[in-house]
Structure 1
Amino acid sequence: MLDPLRTFTTNLRRRRAELGLSQEAVAAEASMDQSQYSRIERGEVDPSIRTLTRVARALQSTPSELLRGIS
């Protein structure tokens, strides 16, 4: 069984790469500190639903797209 956090962080990195964005750019668009976004992307913290929604918007995505593959 796949680790849900690993799947989520993989989806984050993949989407950010598709858009050609830096962590700094995503963090700024999501109104958070770059270090906070970096910890989320590395799987060191679980984001709240509010944070997940802000990150999804910054990545021109939806929360469900970022959670794809998690069951």
Structure 2
Amino acid sequence: MKDFAKSIRKIRSDKGYSQDYVAMKLNISTSSYSKIERGQTDPNLSRMKQIAEVLEFDLGEILMDKPPLTIGNTNDVNPSEGYSFVMRKEFDESLRLILELQRKIGELSAKLEQRG
């Protein structure tokens, strides 16, 4: 469970959330949440799911020892490259929006060709 603790600490920190905020969303004390992040308390599966919902990450990836999806840099890569930490849910939504924009651009291009 130490890997789970490390992972949620990094995800929380990357999102800019405080332990107080996450504990409040989980309806537990900050002290109890802090123990989970430090690996002093092993949360049950139900609590892990709640943490995953609050921090918006894929619990399956963490439990299967896969790192969360990242695009570009994390702390060990040059941050000046202009990329940032992205969760799978955010990535999927961004990809959906990009594909929708590409479709609309294609439709507009076709209309312009018909006029021109």
Q: Output the TM-score relative to the length of structure 2.
A: 0.52
The alpha carbon displacement at 1:9 in A equals 1.1
Q: Which runs of 5+ in 2 are unaligned?
A: 67-116
Residue number among 29, 32, 38 corresponding to 1:36 in the alignment: 32
How do 1:1-71 residues align onto structure 2 when only pairs under 5 Å count? 5-69=1-65
- RMSD of Structure 2 on Structure 1 (CA): 1.6
Higher relative contact order (CA 8 A, sep 6+): 1
Could you list the runs of 4 or more consecutive aligned residues of structure 1 that deviate by over 4 angstroms after TM superposition? none
Identity of aligned residues (%): 32
Larger Rg: 2
Counterpart of 2:60 in 1: which secondary structure? helix
Q: How many residues are paired up?
A: 66
The alpha carbon displacement at 1:68 in A equals 4.5
**In 2, are the aligned partners of 1:11 and 1:67 still within 8 Å (CA)?**
no
